[in-house]
Every structure is written in structure tokens, then in C-alpha cells.
């Protein structure tokens, strides 16, 4: 990142603090944070040692996927909703402006959760600690899934008025990312027509979902913070909730075992079931998982175009994601 770009991020964060009426903003130290792939993220340290985070989304005119309109509204909804359930370590929302055309622009100001991303610590975590942490994570995710919404879909309604059913909602989500692939001329490993056909054929299982719950949908280790000494670390933060939607709790199981299978994670499942009760991977759940894998893997392939990822990153993503997308398609093809 160039110095000029960093200075621009710091200036944007300072403007957000001023717009929010933060009294001691002028004496705060602002530092751009790495790790974000969508928003500008800036850490703020005050003279009294308070630590905050300022998030600023891209301008409305920036290229993006259809469902990404108003993502900041989703992140605010995720943190405020998750905070209503006990035992979920999320940032506290302090100030927010969600109008993309507000004079000071949109922003989210929150507390900073302690700790470091799990993926940065992964090589230092012993097997016994990892198993304990996966169980702790399972319990936290189960608590997330106790938080119910009033309707399905993304809070900002980027795809139009939210439909009444989960089947209609998720169908619109899949169709939107396929339309994005066409709009950005992304060559997919499976034809959009085939995906639409399989979705229509398997869509009946989506009618099994009648209660919209809080779904993060991006629970890979980079969005999970750990704090404490080696051997005694705890889950200290569930962050970057902008991808959330109200829907099927099973959808979270995809990113929790990205490019893998959560059924193989006995420690996570034990923690989850200790809170939520027995979890049965029956035919409906497995078909829904396959549908959600298709959705996430399509996003991973298509988002590279509007974000203008370098060719080597695009190639690497295609190499890793394509076999798993095709496997999910085969699961649908075999079981419908």
C-alpha cells in the first residue's frame, strides 16, 4: 500500500470520527489495518488507550456484486443482533452512518476486539488446543443461530423487496451472482443454465427452512480472533459480519469448513450440539449444504472481476475452488 493511499484512508477515518461527533477525534492516532478485502479498515487509538475500528465501504459507484450493495447495513445488523445473545464476542457498534449519500459518507465505528486472527496463529496452536477452540467456536455459532430475524435475506435488500420464503430468497441470491458472472464476463466451470436447473430441481429442500436466523456466512479463520497465552487461548472476536443474511443456519457450515466438510469436525459439532442439541446431517441438510457451497464458491470466483484481483490470485482461486464447486454440483445432480 502506498503512503498516499494510507494517508487517504487515515483522512477518511478522521472525517468519519468528526462526522460522528467524537469529541477527542483530533488527538486520536489512526492506522490503516490489513486483512480487509472489501472495506477500508482503520484502527483508532485514543490518548486514554481506548481502541476503536472505523470501517468505510467503497463508494456506490465502485464495481461490485449485486448483493454487495449496502453491506455495511448488514455488518451493523450482525453486531447488534449478535450482541442480544449471551457469550458471543463481537465488536460493539458505537456510531454508524448507513446512507451512502450522506454528507460525510457511510461509516461504521466500533470497539476493537482483542486478539489476533486465528489463521495468523494456526501454526502455533497444538492439536489439543485446536480441538478445544473448535468446540468453543461450535458453541458460539450455535448461540448465533438462536438469534431470529423477522424475514429472510440481506438487511439492505440489495436484490429487491425480500420474498416471503427462504426458497424464493435463496433462488434470487443464486440468480444474482450468476447474472454478475455474465455482467463481468467471468467464465465459470459450470454453466449458469446448469446451476439454475439444479437449483430449481433441488429447491424443494429450501422449504424446510421456515425460521430466519442470523447467518454470518464468512466464518473462516481470518474472521475469528484468538486471545491469550499459547495453550490457553480463547475465542475473543467474531468480526467482519458484512456478508451476513437472515436464513438457514446450515449455510454457516460452508465457510466453517471452507473447501472441506464440517461433518468431519467432531470437536466443532460437539460444541454446537452442547448448545443447540443434536444436529442431523440428513438428506435435506446435505442437499442444502451443497446449494450453499455452490453459492459461496460462485461468489469466490466472480468477485475477482469487480475487485480486479491480479491474474495469479485469480488463477490460484480457480485452482482451489473449481474442484469443490464441481463436487457440490455433482452432489446435487446425484441426489435430486
Predicted confidence (pLDDT) at residue 1 exceeds the cutoff of 80: no
Q: Express each pLDDT in 71-82 by its tens digit.
A: 999 999 999 999
Q: Mapping DSSP to helix (H, G, I), strand (E, B) and coil, where does residue 47 land?
A: coil
Predicted confidence (pLDDT) at residue 65 exceeds the cutoff of 60: yes
CA distance 216 to 258: 14
pTM of the model: 0.95
The predicted structure's pLDDT at residue 335: 83
Higher pLDDT, 104 or 195: 195
Mean pLDDT within 52-70: 95
SS3 content of the chain, % helix, strand, coil (to 5): 50, 15, 35
Mean pLDDT within 304-315: 96
Domains with residue ranges and CATH for the chain: 3-111 (3.30.200.20), 116-335 (3.90.1200.10)
Q: Express each pLDDT in 76-103 by its tens digit.
A: 999 999 999 999 999 999 999 999 989 8
171: closest CA among 254, 82, 304, 295? 295
**Residue 19: what are its φ and ψ, rounded to 5°?**
-65, -30
The predicted structure's pLDDT at residue 151: 97
Mean pLDDT within 215-242: 97
Predicted confidence (pLDDT) at residue 35 exceeds the cutoff of 70: no
Mean pLDDT within 305-327: 96
The predicted structure's pLDDT at residue 36: 64
Per mean pLDDT, which range of 12-21, 148-157, 227-236 is the poorest? 12-21
Largest CA distance in the chain: 61
Produce one character per residue of 110-143: b if its CB has 16 or more CB atoms within 10 Å, e if not.
Answer: bbbbebebbeebeeebeeebebbbbbbbbbbbbb
Share of the chain above pLDDT 90, in %: 88
Predicted confidence (pLDDT) at residue 7 exceeds the cutoff of 80: no
Q: Express each pLDDT in 263-291 by its tens digit.
A: 999 999 999 999 999 999 999 999 999 99
Whole-number mean pLDDT of the chain?
Answer: 95
Mean pLDDT within 296-319: 97
Amino acid at each position: 500500500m502506498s503512503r498516499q493511499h494510507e494517508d487517504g484512508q487515515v483522512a477518511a477515518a478522521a472525517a468519519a470520527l468528526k462526522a460522528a461527533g467524537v469529541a477527542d477525534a483530533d488527538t486520536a492516532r489512526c492506522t490503516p489495518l490489513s486483512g480487509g478485502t472489501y472495506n477500508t479498515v482503520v484502527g483508532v487509538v485514543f490518548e486514554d488507550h481506548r481502541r476503536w475500528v472505523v470501517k468505510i465501504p467503497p463508494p456506490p459507484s465502485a464495481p461490485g456484486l449485486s448483493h454487495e450493495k449496502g453491506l455495511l447495513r448488514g455488518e451493523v445488523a450482525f453486531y447488534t443482533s449478535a450482541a442480544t445473545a449471551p457469550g458471543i464476542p463481537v465488536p460493539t457498534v458505537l456510531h454508524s452512518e448507513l446512507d451512502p449519500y450522506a454528507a460525510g459518507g457511510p461509516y461504521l465505528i466500533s470497539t476493537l476486539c482483542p486478539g489476533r486472527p486465528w489463521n495468523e496463529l494456526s501454526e502455533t496452536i497444538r492439536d489439543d488446543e485446536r480441538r478445544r477452540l473448535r468446540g468453543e467456536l461450535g458453541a458460539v455459532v450455535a448461540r448465533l443461530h438462536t438469534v431470529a430475524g423477522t424475514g429472510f435475506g440481506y438487511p439492505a435488500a440489495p436484490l429487491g423487496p425480500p420474498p416471503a420464503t427462504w426458497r424464493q430468497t435463496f433462488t434470487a441470491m443464486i440468480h444474482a451472482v450468476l447474472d454478475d458472472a455474465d455482467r463481468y464476463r467471468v467464465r465459470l466451470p459450470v454453466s449458469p443454465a446448469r446451476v439454475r436447473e439444479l437449483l430449481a430441481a433441488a429447491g424443494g429442500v429450501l422449504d424446510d427452512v421456515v425460521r430466519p436466523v442470523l447467518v454470518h456466512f464468512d466464518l473462516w479463520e481470518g474472521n475469528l480472533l484468538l486471545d491469550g497465552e499459547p495453550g490457553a487461548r480463547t475465542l475473543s472476536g467474531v468480526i467482519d459480519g458484512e456478508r451476513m443474511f437472515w436464513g438457514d443456519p446450515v449455510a454457516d457450515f460452508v465457510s466453517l469448513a471452507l473447501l472441506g466438510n464440517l461433518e468431519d469436525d467432531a470437536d466443532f459439532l460437539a460444541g454446537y450440539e452442547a448448545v443447540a442439541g443434536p444436529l442431523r446431517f440428513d438428506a435435506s441438510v446435505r442437499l442444502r449444504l451443497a446449494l450453499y457451497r455452490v453459492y459461496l464458491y460462485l461468489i469466490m470466483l466472480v468477485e475477482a472481476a469487480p475487485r480486479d484481483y491480479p491474474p495469479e490470485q485469480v488463477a490460484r482461486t480457480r485452482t482451489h475452488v473449481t474442484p469443490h464447486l464441481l463436487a457440490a454440483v455433482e452432489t446435487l445432480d446425484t441426489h435430486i
